[in-house]
Structure 1
């Protein structure tokens, strides 16, 4: 048997916690000296301690832990795996939310300092492209990002041996109800890839263009600058947009260069 101090050391917990688990009936000592009151534990009790700590760290209350510890090892392992998956999903969602909050804060900071002079007017060139289509629930980066990345993944696989003839392009068109039509495109020139939709992206005589540098979560700044410029210049736009990925994968995203283009009249 082991003293409470030795057992705490082997179980990587504090003596105070072992006393608390004894008090609430989660982990009783194997023996308590009737004269000194010293608690003693057996090595096999580390199995119960490990399960107890795992449940606690996964967010179960002590009352829930009491019933969980009495389940079979197979049931317990399945329960812990499910809870682990839930926590991973929650952490991923929280990380995504943090990225969006930081991006929105950057937009707020840049509202009065956005360089409108960085907007240029140039023709929107037509392009023959292989494309994949999808719909995002909204224009929010949270909705658009997964759709466009998935479309480019599908398109890249479907292109086979045909190499793009220029930088990748994404186009966006607002739909009724607030959703967004999304197209992932690779310029292909005269090539004819198999099992891929091929279309001609229309040109436009004038497009307001802004060069965005950095991660796509911050792309809202480009649209903010362009919206202010379009309004100040007395132009109008139908809400469609084109993004040309001048520098993108496999470069680190912070080094990406994206030309954001709005057809204007």
Structure 2
């Protein structure tokens, strides 16, 4: 009985796979033609190759790589054993965890963006004279702000018996004259009800009133402040303002009460005048 043989193009069309893919499978050794004409170079396939291609497709669909499929075929098996299937199930579960976390992060980013867009971006406020507990330090990077607040400033203010304002107004002022991703010279200030005796960590002082401050809400981690700064300074330029004092970054929600950096809320305040 003569067995039907198909040229590579016919085989490609019937099996709905490209010739390029078939040549790749041949090079890898997982699906070789049953015959190659020595004169024309034509490649021929028969029923056994159709069945083998079906096996390749099934194995790819359940997560086996081409290298893994080749190893199975070299071992004389077209079907993985139970241990190999269990391993793939475990890999799927790990991938699922990653994908679910990625989906959660994407939803949070959408929520943050919607929240940001729903807020009034800019506002003009006057800032009264206040008393603050101040701590100035050169920190490793911007991400170290949270650690400094939680583990250095907070415990020292508690030790000194500081009474903070009901509004919980706190902010930072940067003293670097240029951007530095590391060794950031930053001053943290928190409003207090009374001036106490200075310590090695905390100094008390009065911050003068600011007649006009342009304020912008920033939602997200601190390493994206540059996006809000860009928007802020564009607005200042368009409205004909000029900056007349130190920029403040006010921290409303952060690592101390919100684990997700995408939900951190800060307010940038810039003293301005026309």
TM range (shorter): 0.3 to 0.5
Larger radius of gyration: 2
TM-score normalised per structure 2? 0.46
